[in-house]
Structure 1
């Protein structure tokens, strides 16, 4: 893993070629009903159709493929509440190496099930960052596995950057590109790709009000970790990573928030109008857009639909 400053236009392109056999080039969809409601042209990048059902497949694949033969030998380890866990388990399986995954006991069962199906070994812990880190440290020591963080890692960030790269490769010249933000892997990768491939595009982060550490950190100019996050967007509970914050501070135009009621309404709108399955975290950018219509009036806006791993028995609407 190098420095994020080493990531450039060429390395993102090379990363996309490297991971090509392990991921989908996901489609861009539009909805005339949503365009009318939003008062702008919205292009949805459907990472809910990605391998493992989320953009996380990109970063995990790149991180594993970049490991040396020596580092691969003892496998990989991480802590994750869901999508990164499944993505790393799958990438490890493709590489023929073991994956040791620490997951909080409260993680959605659908996400635990996915990790098991990809051959990952799950080690449950209490639902706190400290518990996750302690259990991970013990696993890394025990198995001599390589830790692949969910977001605070240059290879992971560069893998996530390939999502925005695909958007710009299709010839879109967007006024705005929006991505949800939790740990910041997707948003920082999106910001870098936009800077190199479409510098006139403003990148905006979208975050739940109940887990708004990225917005507060962005405004304060320093990282402010989230304590006791509370939001339906379970994929965005994590505090912003250090490397991610550096990139976001430099290349992101703004971070806007929406509350759970607004997130649920946006999620329902996508189900009804676009007929696709998304998870709550995925709906946050659309919720933010609809809440701030005047900012986007008449513009061309890209939204990355980050994932579709939702427990259908627990949908937040009837």
Structure 2
């Protein structure tokens, strides 16, 4: 089976911003982008993106999960990167149109259609290191994906890193540069201690991993960092916390120190998990800090993690009522 996110449908939908206006969106071959080598994005990283999914229900209907939140976050990222302001209604329609066009390619559960809206600065100017791109390109890619947990959900090993994932004021921007800045620590952690990911904890403050939000589950309580500008405001994170509240759980969005995490994570029944679009909720079995390994609870995926992931999947797949209005029907 092809690796997650490496298969694409043959077309994408695209709009260009020039002369202070957006062009009419059009469907073009997926490999048709042409950029000037002096394009702003190639030199000054004026790029942001989103990740969301469309799902096929048992009745054959195709539904997009929480599109409004992802469109709003791309608009926010674009603003924080000083890219041209996106038209949210236009982008939403672009997403709906291309998903509808390729509705036949949306896999059955547990597969889905991964949707990647992307916004990049295209103005050809290498003299704009301290100025924004006045031209840009907005496009939407589709990638049919299978079960992220084919073969079972393996509990992850996380190395606790004292540094930040990215510059504090850039944390809430879903930008390529933030992921690039996390690569070296992740690769070193894999080589040194066979960690799957790095949990970034600047000054002892538990934040996020290189590509997901972190949740500690202690009995009936979920603890996760309160929203601020230093880390990404995950849509899956928000969804999981909402479902936890629906189940009567206590949700604590607050500062969590490394010391408290290590103290509570080893308690019997404790669980930890990473939340994100691709894997929904992935169990964490081991935390590594100061040369020592700490087993989280039983070291395996816990009942609460599994139940919350299943509850979210059931809504996405149409097996449970969408009481929060998270699904947009395409066809």
TM-score interval w.r.t. the shorter chain? Answer: under 0.3
Give the TM-score normalised by the residue count of structure 2.
0.25
- Quick check: which has more Rg, 1 or 2? 2
Higher strand share: 2
Q: Which has the higher contact order (CA 8 A, sep 6+)?
A: 1
